[in-house]
């Protein structure tokens, strides 16, 4: 007859909690993953706890009956099996026993949608309409999944506990595993007559339109969280969050660089030479830009605080206006005479010019801006 008290290292008057603590301590020390080659000792500890942890088996053992004395009884002995949950208790500090049924209501998942906005919205911010299709609470059954006048009943498979147990043989002997009941999905109850709209799920899919407050300064990739606007959970559980990912659409006039904006203004060669006032249509309305005489192609004029609003602080970026000086391509006879006369007066007739690097133009921001507009 085995001395199970000695195997666990407890006295004969030890309480049930003392026996459980001793078993956990021994199981941690002797588990095959921790102490390879000591499987027999680990098995004995499991047998000891199987006997001393069961009040009926313990009483029989104290009267001289050992269920493991018969070598043919196998691990678990007469009518008993060493449960896998006991091993999990030893390593993860559980309280023993199988889990109870879970709630039918479960939290919903988060959802991610894309919202396309014009550049103006990034500049000033705006409230945009967003149409989404998500799971919402079923208003017919209010989330309980039951048809009107129906209800639930105890699951016939798991008898209301939400799980089923299965005994399997392993090198440890008989190991009892616990799994959620597939008939009731671990709830412990089944719906007698499911709701005709949600079919027992407690939620339905619905297309709806939301108002999304988009702050100034957003850029492509910015995400806005709308708490409680995501998927409603099974059984009418609380909804997750809806994450709105912003995509700022390209603008035909302005190019964004950080919180600054860039645009170009076309200037005739004569206007650039003589000076003029150019009208630039900005997001704030028309602005007058003074073009001094002798303005060169690519020169930049800055309008302060006419750019994109800052996302996390007050103020706005700037608007940079690039001079696009245009040289005439078609001249009539009189125009050609006048230009030739001007060239003669400036001693420019026959001038060959000075070779400069293309990087002076293409490396500048305006060069890249102009290339983007021309498709190069």
CATH of the domain at 22: 1.10.287.110
167 belongs to a structural domain: no
- Chosen domain end from 190, 223, 249: 249
Q: What is the pLDDT along the chain (376 residues), one digit of tens a residue?
A: 688 888 889 998 888 888 888 888 887 787 666 677 787 887 888 888 888 888 878 887 887 777 776 444 434 443 444 444 445 444 444 444 456 688 888 999 999 999 999 999 999 999 999 999 999 999 999 999 999 999 999 999 988 988 887 777 666 666 777 888 989 989 999 999 999 999 999 999 999 999 999 999 999 999 999 999 999 999 999 999 999 999 999 999 999 999 999 999 999 999 999 999 999 999 999 999 999 999 999 999 999 999 999 999 999 999 999 999 998 888 898 988 888 888 888 887 655 555 555 455 444 544 555 554 444 4
CATH of the domain at 329: 2.60.260.20
47 belongs to a structural domain: yes
**114 and 83 in one domain?**
no
**228 and 103 in one domain?**
yes
**350 and 277 in one domain?**
yes
Q: Which long-range contacts (CB under 8 A, 24 or more apart) does 252-258 make?
A: 253/281, 254/119, 254/283, 254/319, 255/369, 255/372, 256/119, 256/122, 256/219, 256/308, 257/365, 258/308, 258/317
Strand-strand pairing, 260-268 and 319-326: parallel
Q: What is the reported pLDDT for 286?
A: 96
**282 and 340 in one domain?**
yes
**78 and 115 in one domain?**
no
Q: Which domain holds residue 221?
A: 99-139+199-249
Q: What is the reported pLDDT for 165?
A: 79
Q: What is the reported pLDDT for 350?
A: 59
- Chosen domain end from 189, 215, 249: 249
144 vs 103, 106, 178, CA distance in Å? 11, 12, 27
- Chosen domain end from 226, 249, 272: 249
Position of tokens 């021994």?
A: 26
**245 and 264 in one domain?**
no
62 belongs to a structural domain: yes
Q: What is the reported pLDDT for 90?
A: 46
**237 and 129 in one domain?**
yes
Q: What is the reported pLDDT for 62?
A: 80
Residue 198, annotated ligand binder?
yes
**117 and 52 in one domain?**
no
Number of domains comprising the chain? 3
149 belongs to a structural domain: no
Buried-state track 121-139, b at ≥16 Cβ within 10 A, e below 16? bbbebbebebebebbbbbe
173 belongs to a structural domain: no
233 belongs to a structural domain: yes
Residue 146, annotated ligand binder?
no
Q: What is the reported pLDDT for 164?
A: 87
31 belongs to a structural domain: yes
**109 and 36 in one domain?**
no
**85 and 208 in one domain?**
no
Q: Is 356 helix (H, G, I), strand (E, B) or coil?
A: coil
Which residue blocks in the chain are alpha helix, DSSP H?
4-8, 16-30, 39-52, 55-62, 84-92, 119-124, 269-274, 333-345, 359-362, 365-374
**73 and 12 in one domain?**
yes
70 touches 80 (CB < 8 A)? no
Could you tell me the two tokens for 52?
A: 């001393």
The DSSP call for residue 70 is S
Give kind and range of the element (H or E) at residue 190. Answer: strand 189-191
**299 and 213 in one domain?**
no
174 belongs to a structural domain: no
Q: What is the C-alpha separation between 248 and 116, in angstroms, rounded?
A: 6
């Amino acid at each position: 007859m085995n001395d199970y008290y000695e195997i666990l290292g407890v006295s004969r008057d030890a309480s049930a909690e003392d026996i459980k603590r001793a078993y956990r301590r021994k199981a941690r020390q002797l588990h095959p993953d921790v102490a390879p080659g000591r499987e027999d000792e680990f098995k004995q500890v499991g047998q000891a706890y199987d006997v001393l942890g069961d009040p009926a088996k313990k009483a029989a053992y104290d009267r001289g009956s050992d269920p493991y004395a018969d070598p043919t009884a196998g691990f678990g002995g007469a009518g008993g099996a060493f449960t896998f949950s006991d091993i999990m208790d030893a390593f993860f500090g559980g309280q023993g026993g199988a889990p109870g049924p879970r709630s039918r209501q479960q939290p919903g998942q988060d959802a991610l949608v894309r919202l396309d906005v014009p550049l103006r919205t990034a500049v000033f911010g705006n409230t945009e309409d967003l149409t989404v299709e998500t799971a919402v609470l079923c208003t017919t059954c209010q989330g309980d999944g039951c048809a009107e006048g129906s209800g639930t009943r105890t699951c016939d498979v798991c008898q209301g506990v939400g799980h089923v147990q299965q005994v399997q043989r392993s090198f440890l002997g008989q190991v009892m595993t616990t799994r959620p009941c597939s008939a009731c999905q671990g709830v412990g109850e089944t719906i007698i007559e499911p709701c005709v709209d949600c079919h027992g799920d407690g939620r339905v899919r619905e297309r709806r339109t939301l108002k999304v407050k988009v702050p100034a300064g957003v850029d492509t990739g910015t995400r806005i969280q709308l708490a409680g606007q995501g998927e409603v959970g099974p059984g009418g559980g609380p909804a997750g969050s809806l994450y709105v990912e912003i995509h700022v659409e390209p603008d035909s006039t302005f190019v964004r660089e950080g919180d600054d904006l860039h645009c170009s203004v076309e200037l005739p060669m004569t206007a650039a030479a003589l000076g003029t006032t150019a009208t630039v249509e900005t997001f704030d309305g028309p602005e007058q830009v003074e073009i001094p005489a002798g303005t060169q192609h690519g020169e930049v004029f800055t309008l302060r605080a006419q750019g994109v609003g800052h996302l996390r602080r007050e103020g706005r970026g700037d608007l940079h206006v690039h001079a696009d000086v245009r040289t005439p391509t078609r001249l009539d006879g009189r125009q050609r005479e006048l230009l030739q006369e001007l060239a003669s007066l400036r001693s420019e007739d026959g001038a060959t010019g000075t070779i400069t690097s293309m990087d002076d133009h293409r490396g500048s921001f305006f060069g890249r801006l102009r290339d983007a507009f021309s498709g190069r």
